[in-house]
Amino acid sequence: MPNAPVIRSDAPGSFAWGVFHERHPELVRRVLGALPYGPEQRAAVERLLAESTSGVLEPPAADGPDAARWLAWGEGLWGRPWGEAPFLWAESWFYHRLLDATGYFGPGAWQGVDPFAPFKHAELAGPAVDEELAALDGLDALPEPRRSDALLRSALWGNRADLSFQLTAGPGGGPADADLLADDSALLRAELQRAGGGRVHVIADNAGRELLPDLVLIDHLLRTGPVAEVVLQVKPRPYFVSDATTADALAAVERLRTAPSPAAGAVGRRLWRALNDGALTIRTHPFFCAPLPYHDLPDDLRSELAGAALTILKGDLNYRRLVGDRHWPPTTPFRTAAGHFPSPVAALRTLKSDVVVGLAPTTVAQLDATGTPWRTTGRHAVIQVHTHR
């Protein structure tokens, strides 16, 4: 696979630099304000913030969580400034260390406590969710393929609800067709039809308001065919603020089941039954919290995904891991960067970081001419598909 320079966070004023020097300090403030951590946890979190902005990468203690893996993953990086590490790697290490600092890995009273749970719960319980779910009551009146398109667009633009992005993002308008920079939705529908009763994997991104439309789309695929089984892949533990875990997925299903909207309640009940009978399965793998691109999938996960009729990747982080978090020319064909994936793959992603591929030269020229940071504002999105054919 052709290579492009790896994105790092050592250039002041760059998006990656801003994540460590602007977003993370705000995140730490919110985490320490959301739960009554004691002096030990608070001091450890503050030390992490100082180290990640002005210090060097300290290797894990021998008895630390996943120490052997991280020592291997960080070979050649330990002792160097954080900004010299690949941005994707450094972000992953930051969140691993944040969990450790708050006592998540234990032993102790804070073991297993999700530091981001207050944010996730507040979002899922918010009145805006009921308003959004009420829109489902009119969905059955839409003819096909308009109904499928509406659900696909909802899952795509739901990524704007990412809590991490909201930390420093300003107010924005609603999604528009002009904001969809690459649209392979017709090819995606064709791949789903070609699935022929097979299995589709959905690799989730965020919990809360983003996961709800993902689940509604999954229900639609199971309810109307042609897929017979959906595997929802989630993170094995809290990660990147709002990433979905099994607990988050179950909370979202329950939110649908108990929603005032009759249509949403029906979706939730169908998903519950689908979990009971195996048509919907929730799975996870340690690799989903690894600091590596999907090019480096371990053999067991690669084999599992290779059996899928289609894999749908949600969100910005999955996109970065799929194509490689590099300074690709944005006109690089999607197949060039994503062709290594073991199954046909579809990416539903709103742009919240620098990397992007598969755009037309005229589109790039028009966006560059605006003089705005169009790659990172979350305004624009892509639906991109690679089929191996």
Query: pLDDT by residue (tens digit) across 96-114?
Result: 999 999 999 999 999 999 9
With H, G, I as helix, E, B as strand and everything else as coil, classify residue 207.
coil
Q: Are residues 345 and 378 in the same domain?
A: yes
* Beta bridge mates, 282: 232
Question: pLDDT confidence of 176, banded at 50, 70, 90?
Answer: low
Please tell me whether residues 196 and 322 are part of one structural domain. Answer: yes
| Overall domain count for the chain | 2
Decide which of 141 and 161 is more confident.
Answer: 141
One domain for residues 90 and 152: no
- 370 or 159, which is more confident? 370
User: Within 10 Å of residue 246's Cβ, how many Cβ atoms?
Assistant: 15
Residues 70, 128 within the same domain: no
Residues 305 and 353 placed together within one structural domain of the fold: yes
pLDDT over 70, % of the chain:
95
Q: What mean pLDDT do residues 119-142 have? A: 90
Rounded Cα distance, 359 and 273, in Å:
40
Same domain for 263 and 129, yes or no, is yes
Answer positive or negative: Cα dihedral of 75, 79, 84, 90: positive
Cα torsion 161, 165, 171, 175 to 10°: value is: -50
In a domain, 127, yes or no: yes
How far, in Å, CA of 44 to CA of 31, rounded? 13
Residue located via tokens 């990412």: 162
Let me know if residue 4 belongs to a domain.
no
- Asked if the structure places residue 217 within a domain, the reply is yes
pLDDT in tens, 32-73: 999 999 999 999 999 999 999 999 999 999 999 999 999 999
Q: Are residues 19 and 58 in the same domain?
A: yes
**Cβ atoms of 140 and 219 closer than 8 Å:** no
* Residue pLDDT, tens place only, 258-270: 999 999 999 999 9
What secondary structure letter does DSSP report for 292?
S
> Quick one: 20 and 159 in the same domain?
no
Q: Is residue 311 part of a domain?
A: yes
pLDDT at 166 over 70: no
Looking at residue 161, its pLDDT comes to 54
Inside any domain, residue 6: no
Show the domain range for 154. Answer: 117-386
> In whole numbers, what is the pLDDT of the chain averaged over residues?
93
User: Do both 228 and 286 map to the same domain?
Assistant: yes
* Assigned domain for 45 exists: yes
Residue for token pair 């989903």:
288
Whether the link from the prior residue into 226 is cis, omega within 30° of 0, is yes
Last residue of one domain, picked from the residues 101, 135, 167: 101
pTM of this structure? 0.94
Distance CA 382, CA 389 (A): 21
Residues 229 and 297 in one domain: yes
On whether both 270 and 330 belong to a single domain, the answer is: yes
Asked, for residue 111, whether it belongs to a domain, the answer is: no
Where residue 141 sits, what CATH number does that domain have?
3.40.50.10880
Q: Looking at 101, 134, 154, which one is the last position of a domain?
A: 101
Q: Is residue 42 part of a domain?
A: yes
Separation of alpha carbons 261 and 251, rounded Å? 17
Final residue before a domain boundary, out of 101, 136, 152:
101
Describe the strand order of the beta sheet including 180-183 as a list of residue ranges: 180-183, 381-386, 345-350, 310-314, 199-203, 229-234, 280-284
Tell whether 49 and 91 lie within a shared domain: yes
